[in-house]
Structure 1
Amino acid sequence: MRDYVHVADLADAHVKALDYLATGGTSLVCNVGTGQGTSVRQLVEVTESVTSRSVPHAIGPRRAGDPASVYADPTLIRAVLGWRATRDLREIITSAYRWHQRHPDGFKR
C-alpha cells in the first residue's frame, strides 16, 4: 500500500505553507498525502479502467526490505493549514495519462 497524491494537490500544499509562513506562522513538518493506502492491484485496475488498456503485471512476493504499507497522516496539515488532497486516484491517473497522450515524447524544453 502506498499513498498517491496529485502533483497539483502537492503544489497547493506548498502554497498554503508559504502563505502560512508569510503571515507569521512558525516552521513545522507536515505529511502531505491522502492518508489512504492504495495497493498495486488497485493501481493496475484503475489504470486499466482509465486507459482501456491492459497493464502487464505479475503477482509475486513482496521484495525484501519493502514495507507492507506506507501512507501519510495528513492530520497536522489539515489542522494547521486547512489543506486536504482533493484529487483521487482515478483523477491522478487520468491527468497523467492525458498529459502523456499530448506529450508522447515527454517534456522538452
Structure 2
Amino acid sequence: MTKEFSLQYKKTIEQCISQGGDIFNEKAFNNFTKIALHSEHKKVQARFRVMNQFGANTLYSGNGLTKVDINSPWGEKINSKYGVVETFTFERDPLTINDLNDSVTIIPLKPIH
C-alpha cells in the first residue's frame, strides 16, 4: 500500500462510483476492475478486500499518515492534509505497545503542514 498505489486505488474507487458502481459489493467491484484495469485487477481486488474487511479506506495514504477528509465536519475545521499516523495490524490478537517492551521505540514527531 504505497503512496503511488494508494492514489491509484482512490482514483479507481472514484471512477467506479462515478459510473454508478457499488464499492461495497465485492462481486460488482470485481467486474468493474476486470474491465477498467485489466493487468492491475488482482492487485486492486486485494486492496479492496483490505478496505472492506479491515477498514483501511481510501484515506489510508500509503505514506505513514492518514489523509484528512476535508469534506467531513472535522476536516473542515483543521488546516492540515494529514491526521493520525497510519497503523495496520493484521493479527487476530495483537500485542499492545506496552506488551512489546523494548522491541518498539516511540518517536515524537512534528506536525507536517
Range into which the TM-score falls when normalised by the shorter chain: under 0.3
Decide which structure has greater helix share.
2
TM-score (ref. length: structure 1): 0.27
Decide which structure has greater strand share.
2
TM-score (ref. length: structure 2): 0.26
